[in-house]
Structure 1
Amino acid sequence: MPFVNIKTPEGALTRAQKEEIVHRTTDLLIGYFSEAARPHTMVLIEEVKDGGYGRADEIYVIPDAYRAREAE
């Protein structure tokens, strides 16, 4: 069973973007494992809270400009 775990900052993606990532990632894996793997393919998108991770000794907080905006 193919399994992909994607971590992203909380609020960076809309629901529609997450759905697209799941579909496109599944399609990518099917290209390697065959169509038989589709019902067994798991794509997990984990959202990490602001301040829950860091880089280069700095705690990361997503800037407002990068936060997802749901379609109105």
Structure 2
Amino acid sequence: MPFANYKLPEAALSTAQKEELIHKTTDLLVSFFGEIVRPNTMVLVEEIKDGGYGRADEVFTIPPEYRAGD
């Protein structure tokens, strides 16, 4: 069973964008492994709260203008 796990900032994508990401990721994995894996392909989109991630000692938050609206 192919498995993809995306970790994204909370509210970075709308519900429709997350659905599209799941569909496109499934199609990508099917292109490698064949249609046989489609029913068992798992795509997990995890949303990380602001301040819950960072790089090189910098804690990230998403500016309001970059938040997706549902």
Question: TM-score band (shorter)?
Answer: over 0.9
* 1:7 lines up with 2:7 in the alignment: yes
- Structure 2 unpaired stretches of 5+: none
Q: SS of the counterpart of 1:31?
A: helix
CA distance in 2, matches of 1:35, 1:53: 35
- Structure 1 unpaired stretches of 5+: none
In the TM superposition, residue 58 of structure 1 has moved relative to its aligned partner by 1.0
Partner of 1:45: 45
In the TM superposition, residue 69 of structure 1 has moved relative to its aligned partner by 1.6
Deviates more, 1:16-25 or 1:60-69: 60-69
TM-score of the superposed pair, with normalisation by structure 2: 0.96
User: What's the C-alpha RMSD, in Å, of the aligned pairs?
Assistant: 0.6
Identity %: 64
In the TM superposition, residue 23 of structure 1 has moved relative to its aligned partner by 0.3
Partner of 1:34: 34
TM-score of the superposed pair, with normalisation by structure 1: 0.94
In the TM superposition, residue 56 of structure 1 has moved relative to its aligned partner by 1.8
CA distance in 1, matches of 2:54, 2:23: 29
Aligned length: 70
In the TM superposition, residue 3 of structure 1 has moved relative to its aligned partner by 0.1
